Amino acid sequence: MRAINPATGELIAEYPELTDAEIDGKIAAAAGQFREHRASTFSRRAAWMMNAAKLLRERSGTYAALMTAEMGKPIAASEAEVEKCAWVCEFYAANAERFLADEEIASDAARSYVAFQPVGPVLAIMPWNFPFWQCFRFAAPALMAGNVGLLKHASNVPGSALAIEEVFRDAGFPEGCFQTLLIGAKKVEAIIADGRVAAVTLTGSEEAGRKVGEAAGRNLKKVVLELGGSDPFIVMPSADIAAAAATAVTSRTINNGQSCIAAKRFIVHDDIADQFEKLFAGGIEALKVGDPADRSVAIGPLARPEFVDDLHRQVTESIDGGARLITGGKAMEGKGFFYQPTVLSGIGPGMAAYAEETFGPVAAVIRASGIDDAIRIANDTRFGLGSSVWTNEPEEQRRFASEIEAGSVFINGMVKSDPRLPFGGVKASGVGRELAEFGIREFVNIKTIWIR
């Protein structure tokens, strides 16, 4: 497995893949450790999880530099990601016991209650775009619930994958509680089928989600899927247009535009569309693109060269279909995998930027005639992850909150994940939830206890 610096195209490090025998040994260690870990107390697990948070903060500089080198995230964003991982560790250390406490239920029994008990080793198939956060938001609740974790990380961030295992090991979690599997995608199906693996979670593409969901279903394994998104960002006339445009710039370009919950489709009311486009395009053009290790840089490279090619295809196909290029629209010359921050206007049905997820710094502006039209356009997608709506009209807020088909609706704010709030999507954006109380209950046996 090879880690390539996307800002330079140079090799960082190369790691051998696990053999089948090594994979079997790690699964056996996970299954063996589960029998002990499930019997540990919440207070013991919480102490280890708090140690993990402490180590993350102590090593923030090292881990942030690693993420920036492996996938091109701006260094300040990498540091913020490490801090967010520490937060989720602290959140579940403080709340897991309460979230999983027995619930008394009145029935015809002398006593009846619901218990929430761990299920076993959970395989996590995680993406490269948030190489620490995606893993910790799975691992913190899973380990606090008494499960153990097996991480199959993206092949281009092997250093991050090993560093995450290091954090949990150094924090005091026993050997076998959390293990990284340096393997390719072809090995995943056999691991899902292994009887010692209890469940599987994936954050990734729609295609990957379908394959993993099929394999999990075939083997009757619980699965959580957090997949792609083509999030709408709706701006209505009553909004603070300047604030909406400024937030739109951040929302579209966060993580170099490579985020499932980054705004992709900017649905703007006709009455204020010209004003919004001018402010939005100006903000996009002001962003500095370059070496993500430079703190003055806002946008770094895409993670792999093929992502540049696919993004450019979406842009050119949309322009050929009638879209208007406001700014950007080309791959950047020189070393690394860079694409110009781009704004397309006049986007409509049939165009790639309308129907597909654009995973990079490309924004599609779509005009709407009113609230009914805005809701129709927002829902005219196979995805349903997040959504951002900008309006100060209470009735419009109520309708958007009720009628947009998505896992979340953020009103007058940017979509974000937060350990305190459930995260996930509907339609082709996935099944199940992560974070909050809902996330920790995904991988437990919800057991009914009835006593006469």
- pLDDT band for position 121 (50/70/90)? very high
| Choice among 90, 226, 356, 434 that is catalytic | 226
CA-CA distance, 48 to 364, in Å (whole number)? 45
Q: Which pLDDT does position 236 carry in this prediction? A: 98
- pLDDT band for position 402 (50/70/90)? very high
CA-CA distance, 440 to 99, in Å (whole number)? 8
Adjacent-strand bridge partners of 2: 14
The candidate with the shortest Cα–Cα distance to 222, out of 448, 446, 450, 451, is: 446
Q: Which pLDDT does position 226 carry in this prediction? A: 98
For the stretch 79-114, pLDDT in tens is 999 999 999 999 999 999 999 999 999 999 999 999
Kindly report the CATH number that applies to the domain delimited by 231-411.
3.40.309.10
Q: Which pLDDT does position 175 carry in this prediction? A: 96
Which residues of the chain are in CATH 3.40.309.10 domains? 231-411
- pLDDT band for position 397 (50/70/90)? very high
How do strand 2-5 and strand 10-14 relate by DSSP bridges? antiparallel
The candidate with the shortest Cα–Cα distance to 86, out of 140, 142, 31, is: 140
- pLDDT band for position 418 (50/70/90)? very high
Q: Which pLDDT does position 332 carry in this prediction? A: 97
In the chain, the amino acid numbered 342 is T
For the stretch 51-86, pLDDT in tens is 999 999 999 999 999 999 999 999 999 999 999 999
| Choice among 165, 260, 356, 434 that is catalytic | 260
Q: Which pLDDT does position 132 carry in this prediction? A: 98
% of the chain exceeding 90 in pLDDT: 100
Which residues of the chain are in CATH 3.40.605.10 domains? 2-227+426-451
For the stretch 203-235, pLDDT in tens is 999 999 999 999 999 999 999 999 999 999 999
Q: Which pLDDT does position 135 carry in this prediction? A: 98
In the chain, the amino acid numbered 211 is K
CA-CA distance, 231 to 374, in Å (whole number)? 13
For the stretch 135-188, pLDDT in tens is 999 999 999 999 999 999 999 999 999 999 999 999 999 999 999 999 999 999
Q: Is 277 a catalytic residue?
A: no
Q: Is 260 a catalytic residue?
A: yes
CA-CA distance, 267 to 400, in Å (whole number)? 13
Distances (CA, A) of 443 to 29, 119, 120, 142, 288: 19, 6, 9, 7, 42
CA-CA distance, 4 to 17, in Å (whole number)? 16
Mean predicted lDDT score pLDDT of the chain: 98
- Domain 2-227+426-451 fold is Aldehyde Dehydrogenase; Chain A, domain 1 (3.40.605)
DSSP assignment of 88-124 equals: HHHHHHHHHHHHTS-EE--SSSSEEEEEEEE-SEEEE
For the stretch 288-305, pLDDT in tens is 999 999 999 999 999 999
CA-CA distance, 39 to 270, in Å (whole number)? 60
For the stretch 244-290, pLDDT in tens is 999 999 999 999 999 999 999 999 999 999 999 999 999 999 999 99
Size of the chain in residues: 452
Dihedral sign for Cα 115, 121, 127, 133, please: positive
